[in-house]
Structure 1
Amino acid sequence: MTDRQRAAPPATEFERIYRANFAAITAYFARRATEPQIVADLTSDTFVAAITSFATFDPRRGTPRAWLFGIARRVFAGHCEDFRRDHDVVRRLTGHRPLATDETADLVRRIDAEQPGREAFERLAALRAADREAVELVDLAGLPVKEAAVVIGVTAGALRIRLFRARARLRTENGS
């Protein structure tokens, strides 16, 4: 972070981070869900969690992008847990506004654009969850290895080994 960015008011700095990462976070959820409302809700929940904890963000521990992906992982894990418990539909929809037609159309386009990413994600199903996540963050989301390691909570060296093994397994299974 530059001195100029540090001097920016928190709201201005958060807006810059939001704008720079909104598409990547939306794509992360669009690879996991095909319903626009779910993608919109998970993306929104991620940025709500981010803005409420923005005062504690420490750029020495990683980039804003890696920080947001860490939050997105937790938001999605929570969503999966809620889904597994089969909560009442009314409870899950409480407080959510229905999407406008143009918002739904935009999210449908985003979800459609992530179809190749979803297909790649499905091919990753043969990998262990930790290896699958490493490949997704680096190869699909485009995070540098060091940032992806921070998101997952391992060293960069350990992540490189995971990636090497996972990519080798994928090549073997795909016959290339």
Structure 2
Amino acid sequence: MVVRDHDALAAFERIYRDNVGAITRFFARRCVDPQLVGDLTADTFVRAMTSFATFDAARGSASSWLFGIARHTFAAHAEQSAKGGELVRRVGGRRELDRDELAELEARIDAERPGRALLERLAELPELDREAIELVHLGGLSPKEAAVALGVPKGAMRTRLYRATARLRAVVEDDEVEAR
């Protein structure tokens, strides 16, 4: 169901404005193609708009809900790319970005270079640990919001973050030892 009610539309617009930057940065840490970052961001908000009636603020914040949708959007993109369907999807009626939009997304992608480097280091950690660190330390979600986005118990998130941070420190220390 698409958002139609005026109050719901206004609420969705607030959620969009409050979160579009964070969702764009989420994709900019994963992609270096501005068109793809724009497409994935747009896809995330289209999915959010069509499922807005199911959003329940009592279960978690709008940010955690959107990051959950963004994770699924990126997973679908990765699966489609692995199957070779990316070119067909990208050419299939997508609006090309204008120069200003491209420049803005390129700037965001450049700004996320340290985040991409961190994600590369995180690659040695289990997937859920990587995502927990990213959502909290790069995405700005609280541990409670990250737990909702990842679909894990809220009480376990702090422990997961502590362990994941310790593992990440070990990876960074190993990298530093090897560099000497």
TM-score > 0.5, shorter chain as reference: yes
Identity of aligned residues (%): 57
Helix, strand or coil: the match of 1:99? coil
Residue 71 (structure 1) shift: 0.5
Residue equivalent to 2:3: none
User: Aligned partners of 1:63 and 1:173: how far apart in 2?
Assistant: 32
Distance 1:57 1:169, change over 3 A: same
Question: In the TM superposition, what whole-angstrom CA distance separates every residue of 1:119-168 from its partner, at most 9, and x where no partner exists?
Answer: 11111111111111111111110110011001111112222121111111
User: Aligned partners of 1:150 and 1:19: how far apart in 2?
Assistant: 21
Q: Output the amino acid matched with 1:68.
A: L
Larger displacement relative to structure 2 (35-44 or 115-124): 115-124
Residue equivalent to 2:79: 81
Instruction: Spell out the pairing of 1:86-125 with structure 2 (5 A cutoff).
Output: 86-87=84-85, 89-125=87-123
User: Aligned partners of 1:70 and 1:116: how far apart in 2?
Assistant: 23
Structure 1 segments, 4+ long, off by >6 Å, are none
User: Aligned partners of 1:87 and 1:171: how far apart in 2?
Assistant: 37
Residue equivalent to 1:42: 40
Residue equivalent to 1:4: none
Residue 69 (structure 1) shift: 0.5
**Structure 1 unmatched ranges of 5 or more:** 1-7
Residue 30 (structure 1) shift: 0.3
Residue 147 of structure 1: which of 145, 148, 160 is its match? 145
Structure-2-length-normalised TM-score? 0.90
User: Aligned partners of 1:91 and 1:45: how far apart in 2?
Assistant: 12
Residue 160 of structure 1: which of 158, 161, 173 is its match? 158
Larger displacement relative to structure 2 (16-25 or 53-62): 53-62
Distance 1:142 1:91, change over 3 A: closer
Give RMSD over aligned pairs: 1.6
For these two proteins, the number of residue pairs brought into alignment is 170
Helix, strand or coil: the match of 1:126? coil
Question: In the TM superposition, what whole-angstrom CA distance separates every residue of 1:60-88 from its partner, at most 9, and x where no partner exists?
Answer: 11111111001101100100110010126
Residue 9 of structure 2: which of 5, 11, 35 is its match? 11
User: Aligned partners of 2:98 and 2:164: how far apart in 1?
Assistant: 41
Residue 90 (structure 1) shift: 3.1
Residue equivalent to 1:129: 127
User: Aligned partners of 2:7 and 2:70: how far apart in 1?
Assistant: 24
Structure-1-length-normalised TM-score? 0.92
Residue 92 (structure 1) shift: 3.3
Helix, strand or coil: the match of 1:61? coil
Residue equivalent to 1:23: 21
Residue 57 of structure 1: which of 35, 52, 55 is its match? 55
User: Aligned partners of 2:171 and 2:87: how far apart in 1?
Assistant: 39
